[in-house]
Chains A and B, each alone.
Chain A
């Protein structure tokens, strides 16, 4: 008779995820129980404290690596160096981008979210809600739920956990995308598009899971890897499963040809949410992709490397070339985010393993994401600050002469653009250097040459923005809104870290390269 073992769960080690989840649940409680006028303040304090406490737990268990590395929660979560690093960066970026959620000074005392998202745009109900100064403070718990999903997604050690995490991460994002205060129809359209395409990609991912299970007889990354080394069935199932898994993951990363949702959703979603998605979703999706491909499918790398190399080239190419023609700042940043996905894939393709004191693929990817993340958080926060009568100004022509209206803000935006472009003395340059060298050492020097060529086009994209800001006559009626610290903290930190990482990347590089071994 078989005994059913009681499930084990490492509460202490998983405390960072649980804290975020708990904070999200308390947030729901606040929505249900607290009086309306206290909710906003309570939610803001709650998410700040929640993420802060989660970070403290993370650091505490990181400092005792002997007890706290390994498979947790019955093998469904792998707590290894990469998990810790990605959790840490997710927490930091979530905190920074959620601060922008809480900005109320820019919009006459209201947030960037609709007063009543359920009311029909332009209806009396909407006007009434706006007049009564209602607001959706649910956005904070929603984002926290999404963050929980992201944290589990990057650390998942079996495909089912990964799938559940993927959905937990995505569903709140669909909702958040549809809650813009201005241009509501656009926002709702974006949410619907995101939802439909997201559901489709999830279906692909699920189908991939089924096929891979068919090949290996397990969901566990380690077992899949073993099955590849010693296959029982033909590889047809595996290849199909691998392709479907890749589609699901690349969709979330925003790689071409699965990128079409990115510009529409980035433009339609409230700008603070776009910032949150642009970095946190990307980080989580890249993290999960790297884990699936390196840990579970590492034995098959000869078959996926060439394919991913092609996708990397196409992604960079489409991203930068289409970004050239954009006239809308958010769309430009969306295409730029697509091209960055391509640059990251360059390192994924390289698949260089870790050797102490040298740059490897995972380390370079994470460094790139951190550098990109700080620039992104700052850039989207600045987008919320450039305004006219009707709200944020997204046309690039409206940004003309910003350097004359607010040299400080335009200067910061220029630094962020330079970091995006990968100009030396910014974190973006070191990130580019790292991902390129990982690819070169993995034997993909031709990919590096292609990436270098696209970097030049990308540089022109960002340069155009700088030219518009500094060398054009100021646009009429556009002002830089007076924002509170909620917006200024991410902006200032984004600029500072972008410059700091360009000058002193050593400590962070050592950290990300030293803790880059995946456990399974």
Chain B
């Protein structure tokens, strides 16, 4: 029996959350940070082992009557998602170091909930068993619900309930499919199983497969918010503290796109190609609608939420155009978007903590009073609009190149999204940072970025630049996953038609 590294990785933050249930008051943040950093260390260890070729898969019977297993494994896609999660958590904890408590909603509770959420997200990304995945998929909702509802703006309770109801609606539809999958596995093989690799071998009746796939897809579409089921995200992002929004948009929503690849494409390849045209259209609508809504947003947090909806459209586009470049690009996009949105939300959080408002028109001329913050803001923004040199450029380019090779018209429409991205980011920068310094800004911006804030921004921006210049660090682990997916779905990359001259 080898050491169960993956379970250990998920348990470290959970133990941290449990420790924080003890009355440790004063040192709560420190304890939380220790556990978060310990998780990073274990995460790096797991990465080294995994890249070194060690087999980390774990499998133990869990509920025999359901055919459910405690099965965890790590492939390239889960590896990058897990790393994204474990790196963002300490950053968030540091960014929310000065979070004011309110009644029982103490900073200690915040740290505990974040760690619990981290643990569940890690298990979501590692699960190789459909029921186990579903369980943690739903379980992540509970800490996130309390994070939004306990530590947010005036309408936080409404936002939390809206978030939970949308997610539960998706989750319950998925539950019907999960149950259907069980019934199908019993019917086809005689013994129930929820193991992903066993289920992938089943020859499910095509009509049934389409229905089951739709159940899964609905949950993921709600999760990854795509228009028209996206409305919970702007509300949640506006009310939650920026740290919570980072985890919500950066990590949790990725489960949607992650699930589309891992469950829709892997389990129901035929049904996925059947639904692809509809998904491509939805993706295009999300890209454009998100971008336009971002341009029109008056609230900075809402604006970032809408940009994310646009970005999720790109990820879905990459997945459902079925090219290895596009799928690799999508997975890489998930990582990059996690970091660039984190940077944006957190720096906006610093601005809000000074100005006491998130409304765009309450700012103006910030660059004169807080040049460092402005620089960080600009960097984060440029990463959001996918400037070459930033990691997001690489992934966005791959998605567009992939969809171009399959459907040039689709790619042409999607490119409009990148133009609009420049508009919303630069207009936001112009209206908040440039121009004359308003009285309120001059009064409230007494300090530029503090040491803590610099320490928050530095690692995130460093990762963005690193992956922008050396994308192969991530792409080498991601590309095999895209290849496997392609071969499983049974499609090959389109061969570019040769031009006249080549003949």
Asked if A467 and B150 make an inter-chain contact with CB atoms under 8 angstroms apart, the answer reads no
Min C-beta distance of B385 to chain A, whole Å: 37
Asked if A423 and B138 make an inter-chain contact with CB atoms under 8 angstroms apart, the answer reads yes
Show 7 A/B contacts (Cβ-Cβ < 8 Å), sorted by A: A359-B192, A424-B135, A433-B66, A440-B180, A459-B165, A471-B150, A471-B156
Chain B binder among A195-203, A274-282, A331-339, A506-514: A506-514
**A506-B63 in contact given A424-B139, A433-B179 (Cβ < 8 Å):** yes
A505 to B67, CA, bound (A): 12
**A455-B179 in contact given A358-B65, A359-B66, A424-B134 (Cβ < 8 Å):** no
Q: Mark B residues whose CB is within 8 Å of A.
A: 61-66, 103-104, 131, 134-139, 141-142, 146, 149-150, 156-157, 160-161, 164-165, 168-169, 172-173, 175-176, 178-180, 182-183, 186, 191-192
Asked if A510 and B183 make an inter-chain contact with CB atoms under 8 angstroms apart, the answer reads no
Asked if B149 and A509 make an inter-chain contact with CB atoms under 8 angstroms apart, the answer reads no
Q: Which of A424, A432, A436 has the most B CB atoms < 10 Å from its CB?
A: A424
**A509-B183 in contact given A404-B103, A448-B176, A471-B150 (Cβ < 8 Å):** no
Chain A residue numbers with a CB within 8 Å of B134 are 424
Asked if A459 and B168 make an inter-chain contact with CB atoms under 8 angstroms apart, the answer reads yes
Tally of A interface residues using CB under 8 Å:
38
Chain B residue numbers with a CB within 8 Å of A440 are 179-180, 182-183
Asked if A506 and B65 make an inter-chain contact with CB atoms under 8 angstroms apart, the answer reads yes
Asked if B64 and A506 make an inter-chain contact with CB atoms under 8 angstroms apart, the answer reads yes
A379 to B269, CA, bound (A): 45
Asked if B165 and A460 make an inter-chain contact with CB atoms under 8 angstroms apart, the answer reads yes
**A463-B164 in contact given A424-B135, A448-B179 (Cβ < 8 Å):** yes
Asked if A437 and B183 make an inter-chain contact with CB atoms under 8 angstroms apart, the answer reads yes
* Dominant secondary structure at the A interface: helix
Chain B residue numbers with a CB within 8 Å of A445 are 176, 180, 183
A403 CB within 8 Å of chain B: yes
Chain A residue numbers with a CB within 8 Å of B192 are 357-359
Chain A residue numbers with a CB within 8 Å of B139 are 423-425
Asked if B180 and A505 make an inter-chain contact with CB atoms under 8 angstroms apart, the answer reads no
Min C-beta distance of A71 to chain B, whole Å: 28
Chain B residue numbers with a CB within 8 Å of A470 are 146, 149-150
A441 to B64, CA, bound (A): 17
A425 to B123, CA, bound (A): 13
Q: Which of A448, A452, A463, A510 has the most B CB atoms < 10 Å from its CB?
A: A452
Q: Given A432-B175, A433-B66, A437-B179, 20 other A-B contacts at CB below 8 A?
A: A359-B192, A404-B103, A423-B142, A424-B138, A425-B139, A436-B175, A437-B182, A440-B183, A441-B183, A448-B176, A452-B176, A459-B164, A463-B161, A470-B150, A471-B157, A506-B61, A506-B62, A506-B63, A509-B64, A510-B64
Min C-beta distance of B177 to chain A, whole Å: 10
Chain B residue numbers with a CB within 8 Å of A418 are 142
Chain B residue numbers with a CB within 8 Å of A56 are none
A424-445 with Cβ < 8 A to chain B:
424-425, 429-430, 432-433, 436-437, 440-441, 445
A229 CB within 8 Å of chain B: no
Q: Which of A418, A425, A456, A471 has the most B CB atoms < 10 Å from its CB?
A: A471
Asked if A452 and B104 make an inter-chain contact with CB atoms under 8 angstroms apart, the answer reads no
Min C-beta distance of B34 to chain A, whole Å: 24
Chain B residue numbers with a CB within 8 Å of A437 are 66, 179, 182-183
Min C-beta distance of A464 to chain B, whole Å: 8
Asked if A509 and B63 make an inter-chain contact with CB atoms under 8 angstroms apart, the answer reads yes
Chain A residue numbers with a CB within 8 Å of B103 are 404
Chain A residue numbers with a CB within 8 Å of B137 are 424
Among A358, A404, A432, A506, point to the contact of B104 (Cβ < 8 A). A404
A12 CB within 8 Å of chain B: no
Q: Of all chain A residues, which has the CB nearest B176?
A: A452
Chain A residue numbers with a CB within 8 Å of B165 are 456, 459-460, 463
Q: Of all chain B residues, which has the CB nearest A451?
A: B176
A426 to B274, CA, bound (A): 36
**A455-B65 in contact given A441-B183, A470-B150 (Cβ < 8 Å):** no
